[in-house]
Amino acid sequence: MQLGDIIRSLSDETQASEALFACNDIALVARVGEAARRFDETVGDYAAGAVRRFANLALSEDWLALMTAIERAPDPGLRVLAHMVDWSLRQDEAHDTPAHAGCGCGGHGACA
């Protein structure tokens, strides 16, 4: 699956859920659902915001880890999605980020 197609699909809740389930990580799906509820967002909104936050806030080391993760992935697009979402979840969980209801920034102030 192409990453651009995956990211575009996050605006549709059904397709967003399908993309997350396709990552074959049920714990990730559960964590996204919990974070989405916490930030008063849909699963797709949280996932799309997570991708944007990674793109805007990730350090060089984070990008290197992403490249390493997808090097041998059978589906690089889904691996990128899972990595970026996991990164954002870890940021939110580590910092106990307060909710920004409905803004899509995951509480980081990087509203888009």
- The reported pTM is 0.81
Per-chain mean pLDDT for the chain: 85
pLDDT computed for residue 64 by the predictor = 96
Whole domain around residue 37: which residue ranges? 3-95
pLDDT tens per residue across span 40-52: 999 999 999 999 9
**Residue 105: inside a domain:** no
Mention every residue, 6+ apart, whose C-beta is less than 8 A from residue 95.
Answer: none
Q: What's the number of domains the chain is made of?
A: 1
CB 22 within 8 A of CB 10: no
pLDDT computed for residue 110 by the predictor = 52
State the DSSP code for 58: -
**Residue 84: inside a domain:** yes
**Residue 109: inside a domain:** no
**Residue 103: inside a domain:** no
Residue written as token pair 């992403």 = 66
